[in-house]
């Protein structure tokens, strides 16, 4: 569960490194955001010389949470960190690559479509993305 | 649906049980219960934790390697459904688990061989040393019926000495 003020890693190469959640758009006082929810966040730490600067407001989809998800088949999934992927207002990702495993539930906002057509697939220790079924 | 093995203790994880932890390098760890998960979080090595299957196999407490285990290998390619294949597989599964149980019982028997006699010897020694806790030593002398069980001892007697004794 991502609450307001929660820091999460940014799991793509959009240029932001860490973001802090401000709101969940579309609900007046929604406290918790989980995997698959879109959030409004402010960039707290960014890669130097790249578009998102610190204190720029971005939208993101939550890709991983430590709290995890409970699947319908009874399996509970937990991740290692809280991570989000920066997107624009339409739902297309801002970066080209996604890092780390990603839960299938983060399919809101056309996330799945655009991520699976990501041009670069990085294999090796830092995996591009893995859709966990 | 697939029955997974717990990463820590190697028990089967049935649907509805357990937890899956995904590390950022995309390695998946499945746990059958929070006990195993907590041990994992404590960074314990399952090879050193006594109640896990890995430890037992490593230390020879259980059947380590057997063809029956290899038959249970994980297959990633889905098989086209064939009724005959399914029937044979079910029969085979039964037979395999029966043989495995037999072999495991055999390994246990092998491991415990000689345990009974050893236990008996140890008990006897304990009796002889600690009989004063049960009965006063003088009571044993007064009542001839109270005796400690005798241990059957194998005594080596050289034949030559015996014959010499008989002659003289």
Q: What residues make up the domain containing B115?
A: 63-73+82-131
Nearest to A19 by CA among A49, A55, A47, A50: A55
Predicted confidence band of residue A123 (pLDDT cuts 50, 70, 90) = very low
Distance CA B32, CA B40 (A): 12
B112 and B86 in a single domain? The answer is yes
Instruction: Assign residue B20 the CATH number of its domain.
Output: 2.30.170.20
- With a cut of 70, say whether residue A75 has pLDDT above it: yes
Mean per-residue pLDDT over chain A, rounded? 77
Domains along the sequence of chain A with CATH:
6-122 (2.40.150.20)
pLDDT of residue A115: 53
pLDDT value, residue A129 = 43
Nearest C-alpha in B relative to A98: B24
* Closest CB to A76 among B20, B24, B26: B20
- Quick check: B59 and A117 in contact, CB under 8 A? no
When scoring B6, B13, B20, B78 by the number of chain A Cβ atoms within 10 A, the one with the most, hence best to mutate, is B20
Q: What percent of chain A has pLDDT over 90?
A: 14
Q: What is the pLDDT of residue A106?
A: 61
| Residue B164 resides in a domain | no
List CB contacts (< 8 A) between A126 and chain B: 25
Residue B15 shares a structural domain with residue B45: yes
pLDDT at A127: 32
Averaged pLDDT in 10-residue chunks for chain B of 168 residues = 90 92 87 96 96 93 84 80 92 92 92 92 88 78 72 67 58
Residue A6, pLDDT score? 92
Kindly state whether residue B10 falls inside one of the protein's structural domains.
yes
Q: Is the confidence at residue A122, as pLDDT, over 60? A: no
Q: Would B137 be classed as within a structural domain?
A: no
Number of domains in chain B: 2
């Amino acid at each position: 569960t991502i609450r307001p003020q929660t820091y999460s890693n940014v799991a793509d190469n959009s240029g932001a490194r860490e973001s802090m959640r401000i709101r969940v758009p579309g609900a007046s006082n929604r406290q918790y955001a989980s995997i698959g929810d879109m959030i409004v966040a402010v960039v707290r730490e960014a890669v130097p010389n790249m578009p998102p600067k610190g204190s720029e407001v971005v939208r993101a989809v939550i890709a991983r949470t430590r709290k995890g998800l409970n699947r319908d088949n009874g399996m509970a999934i937990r991740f290692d960190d809280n991570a989000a992927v920066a997107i624009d207002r339409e739902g297309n990702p801002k970066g080209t690559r996604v890092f780390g495993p990603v839960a299938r539930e983060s399919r809101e906002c056309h996330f799945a479509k655009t991520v699976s057509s990501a041009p670069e697939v990085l294999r090796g220790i830092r995996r591009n993305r893995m859709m966990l079924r | 649906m697939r029955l997974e093995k717990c990463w820590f203790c190697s028990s089967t994880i049935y649907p509805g049980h357990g937890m899956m932890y995904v590390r950022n390098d995309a390695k998946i760890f499945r746990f059958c219960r929070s006990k195993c998960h907590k041990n994992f979080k404590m960074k314990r090595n399952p090879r050193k934790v006594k109640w896990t299957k890995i430890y037992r196999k490593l230390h020879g407490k259980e059947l380590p390697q057997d063809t029956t285990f290899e038959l249970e290998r994980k297959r990633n390619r889905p098989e086209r459904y064939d009724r005959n294949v399914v029937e044979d597989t079910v029969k085979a599964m039964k037979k395999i688990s029966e043989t495995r149980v037999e072999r495991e019982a055999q390994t246990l028997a092998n491991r415990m061989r000689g345990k009974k006699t050893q236990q008996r010897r140890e008990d006897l020694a304990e009796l002889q040393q600690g009989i004063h806790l049960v009965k006063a030593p003088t009571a044993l002398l007064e009542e001839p019926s109270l005796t400690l069980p005798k241990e059957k001892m194998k005594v080596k007697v050289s034949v030559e000495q015996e014959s010499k004794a008989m002659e003289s």
